[in-house]
Amino acid sequence: MIRFLLKGILRDRSRSLFPFLIVAAGVFLTVAFFCYIKGAETDFVRYGANLSYGHVKVMTRAYQKEAEQMPNDLALTGLSELADELRRAYPDMDWAPRITFGGLLDVPDEKGETKAQGPAAGLGVDLLTPGSREPERLDLSKALVRGRLPAAPGEVLLSDEMALKLKVLPGEKATLIGTTMAGSMAMKNFTVAGTVRFGIQAMDRTAMIADVADVQAALDMEDAAAQVLGFFKDGIFRQDLADAAAGRFNAQPRDPGDDFRPVMQTLSEEAGMGYLLKTMTSMAAVIVFIYLLAMALVLWNAGLIGTLRRHGEYGLRLAIGEGKGHVYRTMITESLMIGVLGTIVGTAFGLALSYFLQAKGIDFSGMLKNISLMMPTVLRARVTPLAYVIGFIPGILATLIGTAIAGRRIYKRQTAQLFKELET
């Protein structure tokens, strides 16, 4: 019977094409929307990860306890060895040393004495190593307001607001006064290469971005870094993989009494991030559920309409002696087939679009030229395993239920009335 019905569906497009297209379109939209929501969620995570947290972060146990104070005296030492170990053990991740530090930026007058000074919140990142993805992660090209990105040792970027306040222009000198890893006074001259604006108030007031090697030299942190951030190479945070990586790293035999042993923590273990991530995931689930419900209603309705549209056909089949149960079963089987076919096609198209948006994205930075807010300029989706099956809920179930409910009318039809219906 299935073969017979399948032939009917394929050959008599007048009765199957419309329901098929509705199901395919509905499922396509469901899958694409689900992946888009997941992509938006991922973008939020990406910004947090790129700016501060990484997908995972390695630091000393002591630093982890006081991380908000940026205690560089508790930084990781033996950085090269640790970085090699991380690259070997986790080849699917990029590893980037970072140093956050506080200090005072002093701008000299023509005599070399203090002309202006102000507090600086510094970030040391790998700006100069060829192939480093750090400038891209911080979106420095977009954030640049004046000047250019650092191209040589000793060059820094300052927040535009701070540069204006201190009256320092690109190309001029400024001296960082900070604290070395050992707690001594650190002073180092830098050349301001350019100024940046991120659209994040805290960063835009006092940010100073320098190459990590310069910061190491300035703060006497040779072969040391406050943290080593790990990023999945495709830029997407995956909690399960991050948990696995952190679990494996932290399970290595190390002296539990050593407060300076390296530990790895995931993005969701950052203060506040876990809660935010859970809230975002819940909100995304609610939005997707509402959308699924709406799509289910549409497809259910399509099932009802499809059944009602074929009212005459069913009447004829009953009139020539086909059993009501048989007609009902063929209807259900047909709708199941259309649901499956439509869902497969819709899911395939939805996934294709989502994969494209995940890999390439749609760059709409041209529309945001005059907007200084630090926000994603590339629309990206994210394909998760659930995206492969989520379309089946509205695609098959709703169609099936719609047909099943509409089909109940078959049992209410009277044989005596059928010929009258046919006559009209």
Partner 1 sequence: MIKATFLGCAWLSIAASGGLGQAVPSAQEILERADRNAMSGNRIAVSEMTIHGRRDSRSITAKSWIQGDDKAFTEYLAPAREKGIKMLKLGEQLWTYSPDTDRTISISGHMLRQSVMGSDLSYEDMMEDHSLVDLYRSEVAGEETVLERPCWILLLTSKGGDVAYDSRKVWVDKERYVLLKEERYAKSGKLLKMLEVKSVIRIQGRWVQNSMVVKDALKSGQGTEFKIRTIEFDASIPDTVFSKASLRK
Contact code string over 26-65 relative to partner 1, x by CB under 8 A: ------------------------------------x---
User: What's the closest the beta carbon of residue 99 comes to partner 1, in angstroms?
Assistant: 16
Least separation, in Å, of the C-beta of 113 and partner 1? 5
- Tokens 């993005």 identify what position? 267
Write the CB contacts of 152 (distance below 8 Å, at least 6 apart in sequence): 128
Q: How many residues bind partner 1 (CB under 8 A)?
A: 25
Long-range contacts at 364-370 (CB < 8 A, ≥ 24 apart): 365/142
Sequence-separated (6 or more) residues with CB below 8 Å from residue 155: 190, 191, 192, 193, 210, 211
Element (H, E) at 416: helix 415-423
Element (H, E) at 411: helix 409-412
CB nearer to partner 1: pick between 75 and 410:
75
The CA-CA-CA angle for residues 276, 278, 281, to 5°, reads: 105
Only segment of 174-182, 225-233, 359-367, 411-419 that touches partner 1 (CB under 8 A): 174-182
**From 163-171, 180-188, 264-272, 284-292, span contacting partner 1 (CB under 8 A):** 180-188
State the Cα–Cα distance between residues 96 and 361, nearest whole angstrom: 24
Q: CB nearer to partner 1: give 188 or 197.
A: 188
Is 68 or 240 the residue whose CB approaches partner 1 more closely?
A: 68
Q: Which of residues 79-118 bind partner 1 (CB under 8 A)?
A: 104, 106, 108, 112-114, 117
Instruction: Pick one of 52, 100, 180, 384: the residue that binds partner 1 (CB under 8 A).
Output: 180
Distance between CA atoms of residues 419 and 80, nearest Å = 89
Give least dist CB 260 to partner 1, A.
7
What DSSP element (H or E) covers 93? strand 93-108
* CA 313/CA 181 separation, integer angstroms: 85
Cβ-based nearer residue to partner 1, 182 or 386: 182
Nearer to partner 1, 111 or 412 (CB): 111
Helices (H), 262-391: 273-309, 311-319, 324-359
Does residue number 177 form part of the binding site for partner 1 (CB under 8 A)?
A: yes
The residue (of 116 and 368) whose beta carbon lies closer to partner 1 is 116
DSSP string of 312-331, one letter each residue: HHHHHHHHTT--HHHHHHHH
User: Rounded CA gap, 228 and 217, in Å?
Assistant: 17
Among residues 141, 189, 252, 282, the one that binds partner 1 under rule CB under 8 A: 189
- Looking at 228-272, list the stretches that DSSP marks H as alpha helix, in order from N- to C-terminal side: 239-250
**Torsion sign (Cα): 164, 170, 172, 176:** positive
Strand partners, 208: 122, 158
- Decide: is 171 part of the binding site for partner 1 (CB under 8 A): no
Nearer to partner 1, 106 or 270 (CB): 106
Q: Tell the smallest beta-carbon distance from residue 200 to partner 1 (Å).
A: 22
**With binding defined as CB under 8 A, does residue 69 bind partner 1?**
no
Site string for partner 1, 115-134 (x = CB under 8 A): --x-x---------------
Smallest gap from residue 262 Cβ to partner 1 (A): 14
Asked whether 399 and 299 are in contact (CB, 8 A), the reply is: yes
Site map (CB under 8 A) of partner 1, residues 328-357, x = contact: ------------------------------
> Cβ closer to partner 1: 154 or 361?
154
3-class DSSP state for residue 138?
A: coil
Binding mask 226-265 for partner 1 (x = CB under 8 A): ---------------------------------xx-----
The residues that touch partner 1, with contacts defined as CB under 8 A, are 62, 73-74, 104, 106, 108, 112-114, 117, 119, 175, 177, 179-180, 182-185, 187-189, 220, 259-260
